[in-house]
Structure 1
Amino acid sequence: MAGSVRREGSRVPETDPKVGVDVSTQWAGDPRHRLVAVGDSLTQGFQSGAIFNTSLSYPAIVAHELGCFPSFRYPLYEGLGGLPFNLELFLRDLEARYGRAVDWWEAPLALFRARSVMDRVEDYWERGPGLNVPSTTAIMHNLAVLGWDLRDALSKSADECRKRIDVPKDDLVNQLVQNAGERAALRVLPTRPRAAGALTQLRAAAELGKDTEGTGAKHGIETLVVFLGANNALRAVTDLRVVWSEDSGFDSLDGKGHFTVWRPKHFTSELRKVAAEVSEIKARHVIWCTVPHVTIAPIARGVAGKTQPGSRYFPYYTRPWIRDRDFDAGKDPNITAEQARQVDEAIDAYNDAITETVRAARTKGRDWYLLETCGLMDRLASRRYAEDPLARPDWWQPYPLPSSLRALSPPPNSHFLAGKDGRRTDGGLFSLDGVHPTTVGYGILAQEVINVMRLAGVRFFRPDGSTPRQDPVLVDFDRLIRHDTLVNRPPGNLGSALGVLGWADEAMDLFRRVFSVL
């Protein structure tokens, strides 16, 4: 593998959140901030190409079940479907004008409409009401920012983001919000008082940790969730390019954009710095999440049949709307089976490093835990394991969906979302960008966070905030299903959604530009 020792077979997930190390704990007082999260788009609540549904991010779902949602602070992106471009609203707009399919003679008008919608979104965030960033002295509890990797968490602040926002251009062709990631960050990171503008997300969390006056607690934060690292490999599948990090530039804001995958030694170097800062945050419990295998996300679809019986990999991975019979390796964007394997092996090494970080902290008496989000996604992987018994490693077992999800027809899976006549027929765990979860998908992640929190002894309450809940503490999936528009009332043109999204990508390079902020 590029940059590391090759591993035989898949990494065995760590099933013990305590990683085999017990810690003796005694707590006094009640921390003021019950839940704080640092991370990237997966923690912020990104869906279908945009950050907009932040009240249903997995930390917000956990806060609801904790009974502290009214006091849980998170940013809002309510204008025109959020940042940078909401694919669900785009499909619904096309459906309202052209019905459940865009016929060939309507394509020029539909393209004009698509550009018009993108132009409105661009104007809103670059020149319109979206420029007005709410100013508050309160620090968010969900401090995640879309597109951030380990270096961003260490170096980016509101002041730094402002410096990186270019003078907007009203481009008639490249109609997408410029510097969408930095604009999104300005609604997350503190800006007041003036000195707060220099705080990174980790240092902002540290300020919340210091907020102990009058609580009788040594920690200002009860539970801190750290979910970083996916963006150190994600662009391999969103860009369909594998460019390994080099010794120069991987750890700088200006240099790292040249790479799509970090070599494990570079990832570990950055992880040590993040862990050092997290260790300074006064959080009673810290939950570290492992990095999911990015090749499972349906944005990169395996084509041409698996390389051999029982293999985890397909010969090529390309865009999900390109059918096997149409795929041309010489013309269509792709990565190969060997490249996908190398990326997965790098992520396995990342997760070994995260696991060892938690184990080392616990041996020093810190109440840190590991959440195997990589293993979780592997257990939900339809094409890699669920549909290919020969490919399943010895440790693999299918993830048991909550009863409310099993009762759906069909039960959600990790395929790209599909539908017919206004009804979902496939998928349901991933939103329309093929990378980020649907609301019920975020609910599964929230349930796993809750399970670790209960292991740590965190108390959960009813919505009144004072009535204790008994075990098992379960996410209200019926509530999430009601809010999940992709699962319970998908766009009527979902049957042709892959074709529409493929057409938009070919005509406007839509996906590359949407994912450029990640």
Structure 2
Amino acid sequence: MACASDSQSLRAPHIDATLGIACDVEWEGEPLHRLVAIGDSLTQGFQSAAIFHTDLSFPAIVAHELGWADRFRYPRYDGYGGLPLNLELLLRDLQARFGKKVDWWETPSALFRARRFMDRVEDHWERGPGTSTVRTRAVNHNLAVFGWDLRDALDKSADVCRERISVPSDDLVNQVVQNAGERAALRVLPTEPVEAGAWTQLDAAQRLGEETGGTDPEHGIETLIVFLGPNNALQCVTELRVVWSEEGYDDLDRKGAFTVWRPEHFADELGLVADRVRGIKARHVVWCTVPHVTIVPLARGIGAKIEPGSAYFPYYTRPWTADRDFDPHQDPCITGDEARAVDHAIDAYNEAITDQVRQARQAGKDWYLLDTAGLLDRLASRRFLEDPAARPEWWQPYPLPPQLQALTPVPNTHYLATDGERRTDGGLFSVDGVHPTTVGYGILAQETVNVMRRAGVEFRRPDGETVRQDPVLVDFDRLVRRDTLINHPPGNLTSTLAVLGWADEVLDWIQRTLRFT
């Protein structure tokens, strides 16, 4: 059982991105590529079980604030709401036909309509225009691919992804885009010239670093963001199973059997990635820590906390399962002890990331730590914000920007809900309950901007010339306007989340869209 001090045992975040280690370096000129990002779904801009708004990923938001948006290259996924299935569009399609709820006698028709929607998405990406991946020789600046973990970053290339894409079958029941992750990667990774097909994320970033066509003679990249590791633990939440890594964790064909990496396995993989990053000619490298995945609203704590002062609930299950209906023998779930063990493993991951940054700074490299784990902890509604007794001594609430504080209700980390007309809860997580909304990505962008300013990076107006004065603030007014889940959420996403529970029961959308391995 948990003790009342288990919150206190959680790792305190690092507020100082330099870890208190001075790194005196002088730069000449300006690199050709001002911003490059390596990562997974959180860096690519995944939302509501699909990748589509790549122009609103957090690196793209940072590029906008840099005054460099017109030169920041990223993949696009136009058509049917992206890959693999845009839940927001599906809900809006159902609402257009059935209104704000699906009555029991409409269930067969609703199921038929949902499957028809999914069939059109599948046909687009497997047999239609979505199969085209025509690319130029220019390497993308956002090199993130949803679902990728540390091993994928080391081994997967466009050539590997092509080999892993099987011949699609038009299954009348299992209507989901096959090999969606590999298909998405073919729009991210370089394919020309021919030898570029063997380049991984890390290889592609290295090539950008070698393009010293700017006025900096040594670096092709000004700031490199590295945000890898969440997918080494996230599957325990999307599958609600804790399976610790064993032999085969470092094999592309075998690692899918595990949902959480043991800390020693994570550290081994991280070390290989860090060695590759050291070889990339980037002035500044920003490493992001791994958020505690058991905070995301897709895994809702059942009942009261294990005991006063605990950070954990007895069980975690789907958010549409009411406390009174929950049966641990029937419903998918993980226990509070398992959630705590996963969190402590992630704390160990983050210490390994911190050690890499510490060693690099001691060796004279201008690396920084962006503690995204601490950021999410400070936003965690049910774990800390609503339970003062569970707060560690270091905990302070995260100050949302004024534009978000002015919204009614103020966005939080609860699952998104509406009263049929407007948002009544949530707002920081999208419909899939794992990935941020546009304003949620904006918060991550703001924290990245803060670290980059600490590194001395100049932010400019859209003209690319006029230097901005501190504080450099993300334009949240722009993001609120673009965030449809904030200003116009689907009316059928009510507080009971019944439509999502129904959709998962009949369409199995969680396993089909969020199981990336």
TM-score category by the smaller chain?
over 0.9
Give how far 1:393 is off. 0.3
Q: Secondary structure at 1:224's aligned position in 2?
A: strand
Whole-angstrom distance in 1 between the partners of 2:217 and 2:437: 37
Counterpart in the other structure of 2:103:
103
Describe how 1:4-23 pairs up with structure 2 within 5 A. Answer: 9-23=9-23
| 1:329-388 deviations in Å (ceiling 9; x for gaps) | 000000000000000000000000000100000000000000000000000000000000
Whole-angstrom distance in 1 between the partners of 2:367 and 2:340: 30
Whole-angstrom distance in 2 between the partners of 1:120 and 1:425: 32
Kept in 2, the 8 Å contact 1:422–1:494? The answer is no
1:28 equivalenced with 2:28 (yes/no)? yes
The unaligned stretches of length 5 or more in structure 1 are: none
Whole-angstrom distance in 2 between the partners of 1:474 and 1:8: 32
Kept in 2, the 8 Å contact 1:49–1:87? The answer is yes
Give how far 1:504 is off. 1.0
Give how far 1:215 is off. 2.4
1:431 equivalenced with 2:420 (yes/no)? no
Q: Secondary structure at 1:20's aligned position in 2?
A: coil
Kept in 1, the 8 Å contact 2:414–2:425? The answer is yes
Whole-angstrom distance in 1 between the partners of 2:500 and 2:172: 20
Kept in 2, the 8 Å contact 1:179–1:517? The answer is no
| 1:38-76 deviations in Å (ceiling 9; x for gaps) | 000000000000000100000000000000000000000
Give how far 1:245 is off. 0.3
Describe how 1:305-384 pairs up with structure 2 within 5 A. Answer: 305-384=304-383
Matched AA of 1:206: Q
| 1:25-50 deviations in Å (ceiling 9; x for gaps) | 10001100000000000000000000
Counterpart in the other structure of 1:48:
48
Counterpart in the other structure of 1:156:
156
Counterpart in the other structure of 2:135:
135
Q: Secondary structure at 1:17's aligned position in 2?
A: coil
Whole-angstrom distance in 2 between the partners of 1:33 and 1:216: 10
1:208 equivalenced with 2:208 (yes/no)? yes
Give how far 1:78 is off. 0.9
Whole-angstrom distance in 2 between the partners of 1:216 and 1:231: 35
Whole-angstrom distance in 1 between the partners of 2:157 and 2:224: 19
| 1:269-299 deviations in Å (ceiling 9; x for gaps) | 0000000000000000000000000000001
Counterpart in the other structure of 1:400:
399
Kept in 2, the 8 Å contact 1:100–1:496? The answer is no
Counterpart in the other structure of 2:440:
441
1:225 equivalenced with 2:214 (yes/no)? no
Whole-angstrom distance in 1 between the partners of 2:86 and 2:7: 39
Describe how 1:85-104 pairs up with structure 2 within 5 A. Answer: 85-104=85-104
Whole-angstrom distance in 2 between the partners of 1:214 and 1:391: 51
Sequence identity percentage: 69
Whole-angstrom distance in 2 between the partners of 1:189 and 1:461: 28
Counterpart in the other structure of 1:390:
389
Describe how 1:258-277 pairs up with structure 2 within 5 A. Answer: 258-277=257-276
Kept in 1, the 8 Å contact 2:47–2:437? The answer is yes
Kept in 2, the 8 Å contact 1:50–1:85? The answer is yes
Give how far 1:496 is off. 6.0
Greater mean deviation of Cα atoms: 38-47 or 507-516: 507-516
Give how far 1:7 is off. 10
Give how far 1:421 is off. 2.8
User: Size of the alignment, in residue pairs?
Assistant: 513
Kept in 2, the 8 Å contact 1:18–1:368? The answer is yes
Describe how 1:76-91 pairs up with structure 2 within 5 A. Answer: 76-91=76-91
Describe how 1:273-288 pairs up with structure 2 within 5 A. Answer: 273-288=272-287
The unaligned stretches of length 5 or more in structure 2 are: none
Give how far 1:431 is off. 0.1
Greater mean deviation of Cα atoms: 474-483 or 506-515: 506-515
Q: Secondary structure at 1:357's aligned position in 2?
A: helix
Counterpart in the other structure of 1:290:
289
Greater mean deviation of Cα atoms: 127-136 or 394-403: 127-136
Whole-angstrom distance in 2 between the partners of 1:232 and 1:495: 32
Give how far 1:214 is off. 5.3
Give how far 1:513 is off. 1.0
Whole-angstrom distance in 2 between the partners of 1:17 and 1:70: 28
Counterpart in the other structure of 1:481:
480
Whole-angstrom distance in 1 between the partners of 2:383 and 2:8: 17
Kept in 2, the 8 Å contact 1:7–1:345? The answer is no
Counterpart in the other structure of 2:192:
192
| 1:178-214 deviations in Å (ceiling 9; x for gaps) | 0000000000000000000000001100000000035
Deviating 4+ runs (over 6 angstroms): none
Counterpart in the other structure of 1:251:
250
Kept in 2, the 8 Å contact 1:31–1:212? The answer is yes
CA distance 1:199–1:463, shift in 2 (3 Å): same
Counterpart in the other structure of 2:408:
409
Kept in 2, the 8 Å contact 1:140–1:188? The answer is yes
CA distance 1:216–1:370, shift in 2 (3 Å): closer
Counterpart in the other structure of 1:39:
39
Matched AA of 2:37: A
Matched AA of 2:43: T
Q: Secondary structure at 2:80's aligned position in 1?
A: helix
| 1:461-480 deviations in Å (ceiling 9; x for gaps) | 00111111000000000000
Kept in 1, the 8 Å contact 2:8–2:391? The answer is no
Give how far 1:143 is off. 0.2
Give how far 1:8 is off. 6.6
CA distance 1:21–1:214, shift in 2 (3 Å): closer
Give how far 1:494 is off. 2.0
Give how far 1:87 is off. 0.3
Whole-angstrom distance in 2 between the partners of 1:421 and 1:183: 35
CA distance 1:39–1:214, shift in 2 (3 Å): closer
Kept in 1, the 8 Å contact 2:7–2:310? The answer is no
